[in-house]
Structure 1
Amino acid sequence: MRLTPEQVAIIKQTTDEIFGDDVSVKLFGSRLDDHVRGGDIDLLVESPSLIENKMDRMLTLTARLQLRLGDQPIDILVVDPRTPLNPVHRHAMQTAITL
């Protein structure tokens, strides 16, 4: 995994601030491969309960992470019980690791 312990802590803390501590945040995509360079940070936020204002929270998380981690590309998927799952969601859920 190509995130430092400090980056992981920032991602977890910031996600908890915005979504609460009942969600899980996971990393998927190219940052899982230690042999690849570059790439964006792909995050999957999963909630067992419905998330109100999901899009606003996702945008807030993206902005805060860019401020705290530096200006780098961050992609975030947010899944709650009413999210219609598409192939990208399914792939992320199958390959992601919990931070």
Structure 2
Amino acid sequence: MRLPPDYVAAIKEAAREAFGEGAVVRLFGSRVRDDRRGGDIDLHFEVDPGRGTDAELDRFEDKLFQRIEPQRVDKVFSVRGEPLGPFEQIAYRDGVVL
């Protein structure tokens, strides 16, 4: 996994603060693979029903970029109990829980 430990901690803390204690964060995409270079940060958030609002997403980004340098972060959400879309399926299959 090509994500420094301080980035992992920052992502987890920001997600907890924005989406609640029950949020699960997965890293997926090129940053999961050690043999790749570059790439944005692709995150999948598994949240409880009623979570993942635009306001919470803004709060996540604010909290995250207070801790790490602003950069491109792609975000995909799934709500527990809801059907999964294609990107969510990829995140569950290939992602690493942070």
Class of the TM-score when normalised by the shorter of the 2 chains: 0.7 to 0.9
Question: Equivalent residue for 2:27?
Answer: 27
CA–CA distance in structure 2, aligned partners of residues 40 and 72 of structure 1: 8
Question: Equivalent residue for 2:17?
Answer: 17
C-alpha deviation, 1:95, in angstroms: 0.9
C-alpha deviation, 1:36, in angstroms: 1.2
Q: Please tell me whether the aligned partners of residues 27 and 43 of structure 2 are also in contact (alpha carbons under 8 angstroms).
A: yes
C-alpha deviation, 1:58, in angstroms: 2.0
Give the TM-score normalised by the residue count of structure 2: 0.86
Structure 1 residues without counterparts, runs of 5 or longer: none
Q: Which amino acid aligns with 1:22?
A: G
Structure 2 residues without counterparts, runs of 5 or longer: none
Deviation string 1:50-75 (CA, Å, 9 cap, x unpaired) is: 13462321233234323422121101
Question: Equivalent residue for 1:96?
Answer: 95
- Counterparts of 1:1-99 in structure 2, within 5 Å, are 1-47=1-47, 49-52=48-51, 54-81=53-80, 83-99=82-98
Q: Please tell me whether the aligned partners of residues 26 and 44 of structure 2 are also in contact (alpha carbons under 8 angstroms).
A: yes
SS at match of 2:64: helix
Give the TM-score normalised by the residue count of structure 1: 0.85
Which stretch shifts more, 3-12 or 75-84?
A: 75-84
Task: Label 1:46 to 1:52 Cα distance change in 2 as closer, same or farther (>3 A).
Answer: closer
Q: CA RMSD in A?
A: 1.8
Q: Which amino acid aligns with 1:29?
A: G
Which stretch shifts more, 53-62 or 32-41?
A: 53-62
SS at match of 1:22: coil
Q: Please tell me whether the aligned partners of residues 40 and 74 of structure 2 are also in contact (alpha carbons under 8 angstroms).
A: yes
Provide the identity percentage. 36
Aligned length: 98
